[in-house]
Amino acid sequence: MSQQASREASLPDGESGILAVRDLDAGYGDLQVLTDVDLDVRDGEYVTIVGPNGAGKSTVMKSVFGLTTYMGGTVTFGGEEIQERNPEQIIHEGIGYVPQNENVFAGLSVKENLEMGAYILDDVPEDRLQAVYDRFPILEERKTQKAGSLSGGQQQMLAMGRALMLEPDLLMLDEPSAGLAPDLVDEMFDRIDRINDDGTSILMVEQNAKEALRRCDRGYVLVQGQNSYMDAGDALLADDEVRQEFLGG
């Protein structure tokens, strides 16, 4: 698949997603990491970004969430441009973000972590807290336990649960399987599938590229801060060039 052909695999002309990134330039301070990045997520869609280390995958999500230096282009969510808003404003728009590292408050209890996820509300809705417990029963069992004493998989569930407390329209996940024992990786992906099945759009960066592309609706391959390939997840998995260059054959 050529780069030109891959660009034609994005959303059809005239069709926009809940999230639309166009010609995005961004980085950190004076260092530009992303150049002319395009990306779409439809309402209810599951989209994955893969690529080599240092490609700028996490920077895309941080840029959507207002955590990088904006240098050009647009980020539109729900029809509103948000590229120059701060994270708290973006949370109000309906985007949840789970970073790869330091994504729980280690000294707080599980319940207190979840309550922090609803900090922009006047009161913590008990029904939302219970919805998270229903989705991740282990968190209810451990609700009085300090978050820092949880296993890696449990901390990841807690981080996702906290982000879900505001019932976001889009949940962004940065390397959710990183550091998990192999027998827990499939379970984590299954949980993400169910969150998406319940109607939440997903944008995920993932090191386990083959499994991520197998499960997602569409995928983007990022190389050196630029779009390289865009297509349905199964189409990228079947593409010989993509497999050889980025998926290990």
Query: pLDDT by residue for the chain (249 residues), tens digit each?
Result: 334 334 444 554 445 579 999 999 999 999 999 999 999 999 999 999 999 999 999 999 999 999 999 999 999 999 999 999 999 999 999 999 999 888 999 999 999 999 999 888 878 889 999 999 999 999 999 999 999 999 988 999 999 999 999 999 999 999 998 888 888 889 899 999 999 999 999 999 998 999 999 999 999 999 999 999 999 999 999 999 998 888 876
Alpha carbon distance 187, 92 (integer Å): 30
pLDDT of residue 183: 82
Using a 10 angstrom Cβ sphere, with 0-12 exposed, 13-18 middle and 19 or more buried, the burial of residue 165 is buried
Q: Which residues of 9-24 are buried (b: 16+ CB within 10 A; e: fewer)?
A: bbbeeeeebbbbbeeb
Q: How far is CA 175 from CA 36, 48, 55, 103, 147, in A?
A: 23, 10, 14, 12, 19
CB 166, CB 98: distance < 8 Å: no
Q: Where are the domains of the chain?
A: 3-94+168-246, 101-167
Instruction: Check if CATH label 1.10.1740.10 holds for domain 3-94+168-246.
Output: no
Whole-angstrom distance, CA of residue 162 vs CA of residue 167: 10
